[in-house]
Amino acid sequence: MNRARVVVVGSTNMDLVAKAPALPKPGETVLGGEFATIPGGKGANQAIAATRAGGATRLLGAIGSDAFGVTLKARIDAAGVDTGLLRVRYGASGVALITVDADGENTIVVTPGANATFTDLTGPERAALAEADVMIAQLEIPVETVTEAAVAARAAGTRTVLNAAPARALPAELLDAVDLLVVNETEAAAIGGERRPEPLLASVPRVVLTLGPEGAWYADRDGTSVRVPGVRVETVDSTAAGDAFTGALAVAWAEGREIVEAVGWACAAGAACARKLGASTSLPTRAEIDELSRGPGRAS
């Protein structure tokens, strides 16, 4: 089987991750425990996730000229992602400050850095979109760039997947170019006004609403509405579980799997990711996803 060709348009950040017994309240200082510096950003995470899930993946985005940028590129390269078109801009790379509590819940503050400079697609970047089976994008880069990429991909016949995170209202031009929208309940409410997938079908033809450990809810304009159960695991850190889900979903869909089956496989990817600490370091391999997908532990 030929590998699915995936292009990810998105952010690249250095994640500074601290574990603590509880998330701090406003004005509160909490004594933490384990600390790690881990390459992340939703774009980089989803590119690595898609690669480990079996895709041949290229990343379009921007890193800074600082030490974080050097480390980011080296780690993304080592994961097998094609970074030949990744831009380097003078100044700081994007940074995410992440706190993870004892239950695996987290808070995240992202400073964009070089990601904010990723504007106006080049000819080679447009060509990469046209050569792909599927494009994945998120919202940690300028929304104008996401829109431009989605419109270009749609025009070239490339399937478009938008993970609408972080939550915000979206321009109609972008939604018109999306084939599959992936959102959590907060993001669904920000776009469609409800924590359900059906209202979003007025804007896009297919929606996956992620439900954490409970799995996902798929709906489309053909009348399909299916709850796909999750996989029960002991959660260590949920930071990149959504990115693992989206990367695996895009690969499975590009491989020609029936969409509800692809969503189920993606649920296993998200669960496998949540068993480990960190973002890019926790993203599962195809073998790990297959094993968890076949095994016991599906939520009822």
Q: Can you give the residue ranges of every domain in the chain?
A: 5-10+42-61+81-86+119-294
Q: Phi and psi dihedrals of 278, rounded to 5?
A: 105, 175
| pTM exceeds 0.85 | yes
pLDDT tens per residue across span 125-182: 999 999 999 999 999 999 999 999 999 999 999 999 999 999 988 999 999 999 999 9
Q: Which of 66, 101, 243, 290 is catalytic?
A: 243
**Does domain 5-10+42-61+81-86+119-294 match CATH 3.40.50.740?**
no
Rg (CA), the chain: 18
Binding-site residue set for ATP: 184, 210-215, 242-243
Within 8 A by CB and 6+ apart from 22, the residues are 30, 101, 102
Which strands, in side-by-side order, build the sheet including 35-40? 35-40, 13-19, 94-100, 106-111
Task: Work out the end-to-end distance of the chain between its first and last CA atoms, rounded to an integer number of angstroms.
Answer: 33
Kind of pairing, strands 5-9 and 56-60? Answer: parallel
Binding-site residue set: 13-15, 41-45, 140, 184, 210-215, 237, 239, 242-243, 273, 276, 278, 282
What CA–CA distance (Å, rounded) separates 4 from 286?
A: 13
Contact between residue 176 and residue 150 where contact means Cβ atoms under 8 Å apart? no
pLDDT tens per residue across span 248-269: 999 999 999 999 999 999 999 9
Angle, alpha carbons 98-104-107 (nearest 5°): 30
pLDDT tens per residue across span 204-223: 999 999 999 999 999 999 99
Our answer to whether residue 176 is catalytic in this structure is no
Q: What percent of the chain has pLDDT over 70?
A: 98
